[in-house]
Structure 1
Amino acid sequence: MIDKIKSESMDLLFEAILTLDSVDDCYKFFDDLCTSIELKAFAQRLHVAKLLDEHRVYNSIVTETGASTATISRVNRSLKDGNDGYNIVFDRLKKKNLLK
């Protein structure tokens, strides 16, 4: 799955993200890079993943996040069959006490 997006441009993007040192740096960079709608979609998907990881039910997630059931289903598929990206992030956030 990663192979379909892998490219020099994507490598540059991810290397650029890895240079960011603070949440404030992230706000500045991503505000320049993305529209507010794109950023809100990323944040919503991460929120959905967090709630799914907490074993919340779809109806509860729809109510709390406003995400469609299609989005919730896609995120759920990524959690179960993806590349462990969400889990890597969740584990690291938990180690920093930024996530329960």
Structure 2
Amino acid sequence: MINEKLRNELSDQLMAAVLHLRDTEESYAFFEDICTVAELKAMAQRLEVASMLRQGNTYDAIVERTGASTATISRVKRCLNYGADGYELVLERMRSQEEREKGREVTENAGE
């Protein structure tokens, strides 16, 4: 459920641009150019807050690890509960990739 208020030609162009990034290095280069350091840190913080909320961490633990305000944590929690499921999509894909990579490590180590 995409918020149609966000959708326009410029936003479509931005989303398409992100899809053209091939790896972490390219992502750093693009986001360093397009965002301020504070914006980038805020987005990274919100992603970690979402991950920690999904894992069942308390607000106190999240504040301690991320430095996020309780207002930020509440906003992210609201997005997890009532948002467009963007956090869920990304976190699930990241978790799946981590599991695949761990599986490869176990297989490679077993073969040694």
TM-score bucket of the superposed structures, by smaller chain: over 0.9
TM-score by length of 1: 0.94
Q: Which runs of 4+ in 1 moved over 4 A?
A: none
What is the match of residue 12 of structure 1? Answer: 13
String of CA shifts for 1:16-43, please: whole Å, max 9, x gaps. 0000000000000001101000000000
Write the distance in 2 (CA, Å) between the matches of 1:41 and 1:87. Answer: 18
Write the distance in 2 (CA, Å) between the matches of 1:61 and 1:94. Answer: 19
Tell me the C-alpha RMSD between the 2 structures.
Answer: 1.1
| Higher deviation after alignment, 86-95 or 74-83 | 86-95
Q: Which amino acid aligns with 1:50?
A: S
Q: Which amino acid aligns with 1:79?
A: L
Q: Which amino acid aligns with 1:35?
A: T
Q: Identify unmatched segments of 5+ residues in structure 2.
A: 100-112
Give the structure, 1 or 2, with the largest relative contact order (CA under 8 Å, sep 6 or more).
Answer: 2
TM-score by length of 2: 0.85
Which entry has the higher C-alpha Rg, 1 or 2?
A: 2
